[in-house]
Amino acid sequence: MMPTKVTIPVPSKDPKKKDEEKPEQDAKDSTAKKIKDEEKEGEDLSEEDLQLKNELEMLIERLREPNTELYRPALETLRTLIRTSTSSMTSVPKPLKFLHPHYPALQALYETWPPSEDKSLFADILSVLAMTYSDTQPRGTLRYRLLSASLRPANAPLSEPGSWGHEYVRHLAAELGEEYNSREFDEEGVEKVSEENKVPGTVDDLRSLAIECATFLLQHNAEPDAVDLLEELEIVDRIVDIVDENTYERVCQYMIRCVNLLPPPDDISFLRTTHKIYAKHNKFPQALSLSIRLGDADLIRQDFNAPANPAMKKQLAFLLARAQVPKEWLETPGEDGMDDGESELPEDLVECLSNTRLSSQFKEFGKELNVLEPKSLEDVYKSHLENTRPTTTVDSAKANLAGTFVNAFVNAGFGNDKLMAKAEEGNSWVYKNKDHGMLSAAASLGLSLLWDTDEGLSQVDKYTYSSEEYIKAGALLATGILNSGVRTEADAALALLGEYVENKSVPLKTSAITGLGLAYAGSQREDVMQLLLPYVADDSLSMEIASLTSLALGFIFVGSGNGEIASTILQTLMEREDKQLDEKWARYMVLGLGLLYLGLQDASDATIATLKAIEHQVSQLAVVVVDMCSFAGTGNVLKVQELLHYCDEHIDKTPKEKKDDKDTTPEEPPKDDTFQAFAVIGIALVAMGEDIGAEMSLRQFNHLMHYGEPVVRKAVPLALGLVSASNPQLPIMDTLSKYSHDSDLQVALNAIFAMGLLGAGTNNARLAQMLRQLAGYYYKEPDCLFMVRIAQGLVHMGKGTLTINPFWNDRTIMSKTAVAGLLATLTAFTDAKSFILEKYHWMLYFLVPSMYPRFLITMDEDLNNISVSVRVGQAVDVVGQAGKPRTISGFQTHSTPVRLGTTERAELATEEYIPYAHVLEGFVIVRKNPGWESEDKMDI
């Protein structure tokens, strides 16, 4: 044996001898010792192993002889020996172990051979041996593999990498990623050739090898590895061609879970690739739900028109209705803009798309759950359980106002509450309020009759003739509220509210504008835009009107990136006087701009650049708001960091000392710090899309609460409420409970409201208990008591059947209208004193677009409700797990319709029916399974 390298002896030494040995031992000694060791090891080997070892050594000797005829058989025997050696999973295969010391010698020998097919085979074998040297000679496996491939004639390609076994493929995959990342590209994407580039082959060679490896991995249940490998070589879109009907489901699930953790633009490319796979395999609901996530009108239209089965189309229509996708997207644009209604959708599809069944189905659902009876205020407050001193009840305006909201939220959608909808003539609750309280009271009728367009309009109608301006304004708002999320042929909201938009009276005007925003949220209606845009641009109008109009447009065109509206709002922000931009309303104008870019990621870059150019300090606020909206729900870590940086600025708000020095200009206004409050909410907005990020954000909020400025502390409870809306998690509950006793009343107030958001529509007993204690604690603070009442109303919202959580479809799709509603409500709380607690308490109705029933209703193909038994349990994440694990844990079996909690999931209990939808949630159409037989028949 030739001593070629000195680095070998280290690993096989016994640590005990190390102490005795002199460090300056020279190489000869160590080699001699190694041979001695090997002889000693030879004694321990079993006969088979010894025989194998001698055989391998003989084969290596053959390769050194001058007779070239012997090379081929020797190499082939070596290959067979390596391939057939099966040992346990944990130890190195025997041939590799015995050949390990000869590797350097073989490498030197390889270099001396002339190119030939034999040399290619030799390289292939070296490539396998290189696995044992991966720590000292990185990427050897890949290098010899590519050398071997380059020596083959074109008609006889190399055998698949999989023929060397799983471990070899994993090794190659790891080295492919490293190699690809170490290659350098210039701007055009052309590869730079560097001298020390040891691995031959171009990037295309690397990629084709990666496809081979990925194909092998997919066949052997290692879908995540295949996806990761292709992602590392930036060719993830080519996975569409190598998945088959056995593997595509697991690949897609894994890729969808990756989306939240990828930086843009990879996340979009993953969604598009997954969409291609689903479309190729005719999985229409899955494909459509991804098109909705991408917000791509053309894809949505293709997916909607793909299936021929009418029942499947209805199911897709239900999905689109839940996502509030504009109907106009589905119509194929005819030639020269003319469509003579030939592509008219059939009536039943239009009905599904426009959500008109929602109200009747929701009441039906309430009946099944036994909650149809209206609840009185006392049922919610349970004041006999509060431990306060019995005081004589005063019919105070503030308490009545709180009662208005509680009654509206609790009985939302059922249309039978005692105070408003079913009140005796002349005894309506409206008259128990005064001035602006009447506006909210009249508007609460809309919430009670939510989604019920026919009954609702006739009920609200009588208030539109009232002589009292505020009642009339409330009726307009009610009209907008009850049309929220439901599209009707009649277009009643536009007809009724359109005429009031020009009205001189401010309450009527703002109510009509806000009503339109709520009624058409997400519909992207051009005609409404033409009606409202002038009010944003008109400088003579007050900031209040311009800002609320901008917000309404933000609602209607949420996430559309509409350039016309954006430029109008930007124009207004530039042209308005500083004094007007200092007003509290500016934040709503900015929010309207932000909502246009909701979830569009980089699409808002140009707008942000323009905003930075505005001299007034509102630009800082605008940049934060537009930025946080663009990345809403993406879980983008870099954005969260950026927003955290905004929070740590310490802004000095006391410019008074300067008055003493006559030299400095006394006009220097105090720097506005509202943007910090929005940055805090922004952290929650970005992080809420993904569980791990949301959990990590809680810790940041804790720090902000300890060290932040007052404006930051005020916003932390709101952020907590947003990050876990309608999902009462214990740690957050306890944190908010602590903040609700904060010495700063503003913080306490927001914490109380956040408790309402946290438990909205869950009937959570623990929260209800906490709120009752707070009602006792704050019985002398009218503002806080008012907020406690509102929170109680939210917790019992819809008697526990509604949710305001913006994520649906197994919490994969973020509803943009819902996020818009939540953000608009939280914006009012960034300065609760001048909005909610003053005369703009009607802003609580901004929550309406985010309210949605959380039910599962099963229907047959003709849309008649049928009862099916389902299991409901906590959703478990099973992506990437082996086999077919349970997707829910701790389930109970119910028959539909059932209520699903925020983190719950349902699956059919028997195989009697086959659902059309892939996620059982909302309206699901099922059909009888033709192969299913009931048990009693089986006995015969």
Specify whether the CB–CB gap between 226 and 253 falls below 8 A. no
Q: Are residues 436 and 531 in the same domain?
A: no
Helix H or strand E segment including 761: none
Residues 612 and 676 in one domain: no
- Domain CATH for 642: 1.25.10.10
Which residue reads 């609760």 in tokens?
Answer: 832
β-strands 855-859, 922-928: how paired?
parallel
Band of residue 348 on the pLDDT scale cut at 50, 70, 90:
confident
| Beta pairing partners, 907 | 871
* Residue at a domain's end among 822, 852, 882: 852
Per residue, the 3-state secondary structure of 102-141, as one string, reads: HHHHHHHHHHHCCCCHHHHHHHHHHHHHHHHHCCCCCCHH
pLDDT of residue 336 exceeding 60: no
Same domain, 578 and 637: no
Q: Which residues contact 806 (CB under 8 A, 6 or more apart)?
A: 633, 688, 725, 814, 815, 818, 819, 822, 850
653 pLDDT more than 90: no
**Residues 900 and 783 placed together within one structural domain of the fold:** no
CB 94 within 8 A of CB 52: yes
End-to-end Cα separation, the chain, in angstroms: 79
Same domain for 398 and 470? yes
pLDDT band at 380 (very low <50, low <70, confident <90, very high): confident
Tokens at 278, concatenated: 């689903």
Same domain, 822 and 681: yes
Q: Does the residue 232 lie in any domain?
A: no
Which of 205-219, 267-281, 380-394, 885-899 has the weakest average pLDDT? Answer: 380-394
If one counts the domains in the chain, the total is 5
Lowest mean pLDDT among 223-237, 707-721, 817-831, 877-891: 877-891
Is residue 465 located within the same domain as residue 594?
no
Could you tell me the pTM of the whole model?
0.88
Is the pLDDT confidence value at 202 over 90?
no
132-174 confidence digits (pLDDT tens): 888 888 888 888 989 888 888 877 777 888 888 888 999 899 9
Instruction: Place 21 in a pLDDT band, splitting at 50, 70 and 90.
Output: very low
pLDDT of 855:
93
Residues 378 and 507 in one domain: yes
- For the segment 648-653, the average pLDDT, to the nearest whole number, is 78
Task: Please state, rounded to an integer, the average pLDDT across all residues of the chain.
Answer: 86
Residues 548 and 478 in one domain: no
CA distance 485 to 470: 25
Helix ranges (DSSP H) in 4-162? 15-20, 27-44, 47-64, 71-84, 94-99, 103-112, 117-129, 140-151
Would 798 be classed as within a structural domain?
Answer: yes
What would the pLDDT profile of 826-877 be if each residue is shown by its tens digit?
A: 999 999 888 998 889 999 999 999 999 999 999 999 999 999 999 999 999 8
Co-location of 763 and 708 in the same domain: yes
* CA gap 751, 745 in Å, rounded: 10
pLDDT bracket for residue 883 (50, 70, 90) = confident
| Mean pLDDT, range 300-318, rounded to an integer | 93
Q: Does the structure show a pLDDT above 60 at 660?
A: no
- Domain limit, last residue, from 124, 151, 175: 124
Asked whether residue 750 is assigned to any structural domain, the reply reads yes
Residue 870: strand, helix, or coil: strand
Q: How far apart are CA 810 and CA 806, in angstroms?
A: 11
Q: What is the DSSP code (8-state) at residue 375?
A: P
Judging by beta carbons within 10 Å of its beta carbon (0-12, 13-18, 19+), is residue 394 exposed, middle or buried?
Answer: exposed
Write down which residue in 498, 520, 542 finishes a domain: 520
Residue 536 in domain: yes
Instruction: Tell me what pLDDT residue 485 has.
Output: 87
* pLDDT range class, residue 619, cuts 50, 70, 90: very high
* Residue 682, in any domain of the structure: yes
- The model's pLDDT over 666-719, given as tens digits with 9 standing for 90+, comes to 455 677 888 999 999 999 999 998 889 999 999 999 999 999 899 999 999 999
- At 925 the three-state DSSP class reads strand
607-to-594, 673, 846 alpha-carbon distances in Å: 10, 21, 25
Instruction: Show the DSSP H helices in 260-376 as ranges.
Output: 266-280, 284-294, 297-305, 310-322, 347-353, 358-368
Judge whether residue 5 has pLDDT over 50: no
Tell whether the model's pLDDT for residue 339 goes beyond 70.
no
636 Cα distance to chain centroid: 10
Distance CA 19, CA 469 (A): 97
Who's near 51: CB < 8 A, 6+ residues apart? Answer: none
The average pLDDT across 355-362 equals 91
Q: Which domain holds residue 115?
A: 49-124
Examine residue 493 and state whether it is found in any structural domain, yes or no.
yes
**Which tokens is 643 given?**
């927003």
Say if residue 367 is in the same domain as residue 514: yes
- Nearest 10 degrees: Cα torsion 782, 787, 788, 790: 130
pLDDT, tens digit, 9 for 90 and up, residues 783-834: 999 999 999 999 999 999 999 999 999 989 999 999 999 999 999 999 988 8
Structure tokens at 233: 């070589």
Q: Is the pLDDT confidence value at 392 over 50?
A: no
Question: How confident is residue 492, by pLDDT bands cut at 50, 70 and 90?
Answer: confident
Q: What is the mean pLDDT of residues 215-243?
A: 92
- In three-state secondary structure terms, 927 is strand
- Are 744 and 842 contained in the same domain? yes
Answer whether the bond into residue 897 is a cis peptide, omega within 30°.
yes
> In whole angstroms, what is the distance from residue 880 CA to residue 97 CA?
33
pLDDT at 554: 96
Residue 848 lies in a domain: yes
**Residue 66 pLDDT more than 60?**
yes
